[in-house]
Structure formats: C-alpha cells, structure tokens
C-alpha cells in the first residue's frame, strides 16, 4: 500500500509517515498541496493521502478539490489530518470529497482505527 503525507510541518510529516510505515505503507511526503499534485503527476498514485488543512501555496481543501476534479485519481482515498475541528470545516472537507477526517492530536491507534474504517489496513495489521 502507498501513502502520500501532505503537511507543511516536517515533524508532522515524520510522525504520520512513521505510523504508516509501521503499518507497512510505502510513504512519500509533500510540503503543500501543489507539491503533492506534482508527486501524483510524476506517477506516484497512492492508496491514501493524509492531508493537512493549513498549508502555504495550496491548502488541503484546494488539494482535495483538485484531486477530485481529475478522474485519473478517483481510486485515491483522501483523509484530512488537521487541527481544524469545527463541525463546519469537517462538513466542508467531506462535501469536497474527502473520505475521512482525523483531528490532531491523534494516536497511532486512532490512525489504525481510521484505516480499518476505510478498508486500508494492510493484511496482518490487527484492527
């Protein structure tokens, strides 16, 4: 399974990336939405994108709109991973096409639970 972690904080990319690698994911990182689109266009089409909301250049919501506008990426599961926790924000992200929403701070167990919900927990990892 492949994941793209999109966050302008290097520390957060490392935390999310490490959790996903522990679950057996191959992980790439991008520091904003625009760079993440570049990764997709290079041919790294992941099973899962973990997307921060507030980022420079292109924010997480704009990235979700951009990915959902391109049918080539319709298999990609999009999960917001953000400190934004107002109901209105969550509704907005889901309406834009995000599949799930994980609010920071979170634990590795919470990430595992979300992956289980999405059917993206690699075989051998206990739900």
Partner 1 sequence: MTLTATSFDWVRQLVHRESAIVLQPGKEYLVEARLLPMAQQRGLSGVSELVESVRKTPDPAVTRRIVEALTTNETSWFRDGDPFTAFTGTVLPQLLAARRPDERLQIWSAACSSGQEAYTIAMLLSDALPHAATRVSITATDLSRQMVERTRAGRFSQLEVNRGLPASMLVRHFTRAGNEWEISPALRRMITTSECNLAAPLPRLGPFDVVYLRNVLIYFDLPTKQQILTRVRQIMRPDGWLFLGAAETTLGVDDNWERVVLGRGSAYRPRKGA
Q: Are 7 and 81 in contact (CB under 8 A)?
A: yes
Residue 106 binds partner 1, judged by CB under 8 A: yes
Radius of gyration of the chain (CA): 13
Residue 108 binds partner 1, judged by CB under 8 A: no
Mark 60-97 as b/e (b = at least 16 C-beta within 10 Å): bbbbbebbeeeeebeebbbbbbbebeeeebbebbeebe
- Residue 118 gets the label, from left (phi > 0), alpha (psi -120 to 50) or beta, of alpha
Binding mask 49-88 for partner 1 (x = CB under 8 A): ------------------------------------xxx-
Q: Which stretch binds partner 1 (CB under 8 A): 1-9, 51-59, 63-71, 106-114?
A: 106-114
Residue 43 binds partner 1, judged by CB under 8 A: no
CB of 61 to partner 1, least distance (A): 14
- Binding residues for partner 1 (CB under 8 A): 85-87, 90-91, 93-94, 98, 100-103, 105-107, 109-110, 113-114, 116-117, 127
């Amino acid at each position: 399974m492949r994941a793209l972690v999109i966050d302008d904080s290097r520390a957060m990319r490392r935390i999310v990336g490490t959790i996903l690698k522990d679950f057996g994911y191959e992980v790439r990182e991008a520091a904003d939405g625009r760079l993440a689109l570049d990764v997709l266009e290079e041919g790294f089409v992941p099973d899962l994108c973990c997307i921060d909301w507030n980022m420079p250049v292109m924010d997480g919501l704009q990235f979700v709109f951009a990915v959902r506008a391109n049918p080539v990426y319709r298999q990609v599961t999009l999960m917001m991973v953000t400190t934004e926790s107002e109901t209105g924000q969550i509704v907005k992200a889901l309406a834009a096409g995000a599949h799930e929403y994980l609010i920071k701070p979170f634990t590795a167990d919470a990430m595992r639970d979300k992956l289980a919900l999405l059917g993206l927990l690699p075989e051998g990892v206990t739900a």
